[in-house]
Amino acid sequence: MQRYRVEPGTHIDLTQIDPADRSAFEGDKKAGRREARRLNARLEELQELLYAEGAHRLLVVLQAIDTGGKDGTIRHVFDGTNPQGVKVASFKQPTHEELAHDYLWRVHPHTPGNGEIAIFNRSHYEDVLVVRVHELVPEEMWSRRYDQINEFERMLTEEGTTIRKFFLHISKEEQRERLQARLDDPTKHWKFARSDLAERELWDSYQHAYEAALSKTSTSWAPWYIVPSDHKWYRNLVISSVLVNTLEELQMEYPEAEGNLDDVVIT
């Protein structure tokens, strides 16, 4: 899956990246779902090992335009993992208290501790995405945040956190179909808001904002992956593959048993 990793210093043009790409897997959708289930089982094992060893931390950042599939990714990729060791933080519109502090103040408490996986459903990147597109602060303020974010993530990694960041890349037509599906299904009306259409009108502005963020903040210590996400099964397969490989590279081991247990008898 290295083909989807953004190398540091790369200038990203999203119009040149196919959101329907499936080139990393030769099989069809059915085979892809089988492979995703296999990877999910392996991820469960590795997450249990991570939790038991208690020596590493993993931060997973999910970013996408509306309907990009962040919730679906969490539901499918992390299905079956132990909720004691996997935490999800969603970053919505800041509260008055959060706005009274620096923009990273609300983020840092949700980073993972030893043995934990933390998943950010949206993240600190909203402050160079939504903030930029809607001109909520002057350019001179949001433009310096790229370097600040890089240093924040460097500090986390130097303190023992492994970071993997995923941009779920969908086409404008796929977004249209997903929004329409929410309107067509009464059980999904709660997911739809008229403001979604106003945000859709800003598609190009968001694409440019994402291109800048991906280009400026994919580092050796906290890389971005641009995940083709028009096909949900393929999205799940790519992300699961990256996470399984990442955890396997940590070379984790279960902790030593407490003393000699051979003569222990349960009565």
CA distance 62 to 223: 12
Per-residue pLDDT, 140: 97
pLDDT averaged over every residue in the chain: 96
Q: 259 pLDDT exceeds 80?
A: no
Q: Does residue 56 form part of some domain? A: yes
Q: Does residue 145 form part of some domain? A: yes
Find the domain containing 167 and state its range. Answer: 2-174+205-249
CA distance 5 to 164: 10
Per-residue pLDDT, 260: 79
Per-residue pLDDT, 257: 80
Q: Which pLDDT tens digit goes with each residue over 173-220?
A: 999 999 999 999 999 999 998 999 999 999 999 999 999 999 999 999
Q: Return the residue matching tokens 């599906």.
A: 181
What CATH number is given to the structural domain containing 233? 3.40.50.300
Q: How many CA atoms lie within 13 A of 189 on its CB side?
A: 4
Q: Does residue 238 form part of some domain? A: yes
Per-residue pLDDT, 137: 95
Q: Does residue 129 form part of some domain? A: yes
Number of separate domains in the chain: 1
Q: pLDDT category, 119, cuts 50, 70, 90?
A: very high
Per-residue pLDDT, 201: 96
Edge-first strand order for the sheet with 117-121 is 86-90, 117-121, 57-64, 161-169, 224-228
Q: Does residue 220 form part of some domain? A: yes
Q: Which pLDDT tens digit goes with each residue over 36-45?
A: 999 999 999 9
Q: Does residue 81 form part of some domain? A: yes
pTM: 0.95
Q: Does residue 104 form part of some domain? A: yes
Q: Does residue 187 form part of some domain? A: no
